[in-house]
């Protein structure tokens, strides 16, 4: 195990279980509506360090995590949450949130050409929170629940397979304690909700 990986695991462990909790940075958003596992959120712009992987749902996340972890380790960038994963033209895009201390000019340039920096604009997103294992079946079941809630509210998600799985916890967190979410960005007309 490399020293950087060991440090990251210790840091993540302390953030969840330590006496002095370390805050893991997340994108900023305002909750517009909340109903059980459902939230309607307005996100501020943020940046992602992302990579595309042509593999199955679970394998893509594992391959991408290694690439992205090397990037943040080499550049000494703090770990953030969530790790996002979405389908994109037959591949999966997996991404870490870039800490707010960086902007487009100051964010460290990845040395691996498979890792890119992408800006995410301000947007309104439907969110469905669930716990459990990171399987595609769990993700798709939660996505169906989220789509039902959006339909009841006459809110339209972006077309196609726009659903994002957001993983907030480290892999060693017991599956029943994990915070997972499905995020569905909405059409711009939903911003006036």
**More confident: 121 or 90:** 121
Provide the residue ranges of all domains of the chain, joining segments of one domain with +: 26-192
CATH class of 26-192: alpha beta
Confidence check: pLDDT of 56 > 80? yes
Neighbour order of strands in the sheet with 180-185: 29-35, 38-43, 123-130, 180-185, 164-167, 83-88, 91-97, 46-53, 115-120
188: preceding bond cis by omega (within 30 degrees): no
Q: What tens digit of pLDDT does each residue of 114-146 get? A: 999 999 999 999 999 999 998 999 999 999 999
């Amino acid at each position: 195990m490399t020293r950087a990986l060991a440090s990251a695991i210790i840091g993540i462990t302390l953030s969840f279980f330590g006496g002095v909790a370390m805050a893991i940075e997340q994108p900023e958003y305002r909750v517009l509506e909340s109903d059980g596992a459902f939230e309607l959120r307005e996100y501020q712009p943020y940046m992602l360090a992302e990579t595309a992987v042509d593999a199955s749902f679970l394998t893509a996340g594992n391959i991408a995590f290694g690439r992205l972890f090397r990037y943040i380790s080499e550049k000494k960038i703090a770990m953030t949450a969530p790790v996002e994963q979405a389908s994109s033209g037959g591949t999966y895009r997996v991404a870490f949130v870039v800490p707010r201390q960086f902007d487009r000019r100051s964010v460290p340039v990845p040395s691996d050409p498979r890792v890119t920096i992408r800006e995410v604009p301000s947007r309104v997103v439907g969110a469905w929170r669930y716990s459990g294992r990171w399987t595609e079946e769990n993700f798709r079941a939660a996505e169906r629940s989220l789509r039902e809630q959006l339909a009841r509210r006459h809110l339209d998600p972006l077309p196609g397979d726009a659903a994002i799985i957001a993983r907030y916890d480290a892999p060693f967190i017991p599956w029943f304690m994990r915070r997972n979410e499905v995020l569905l960005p909405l059409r711009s007309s939903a911003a006036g909700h």
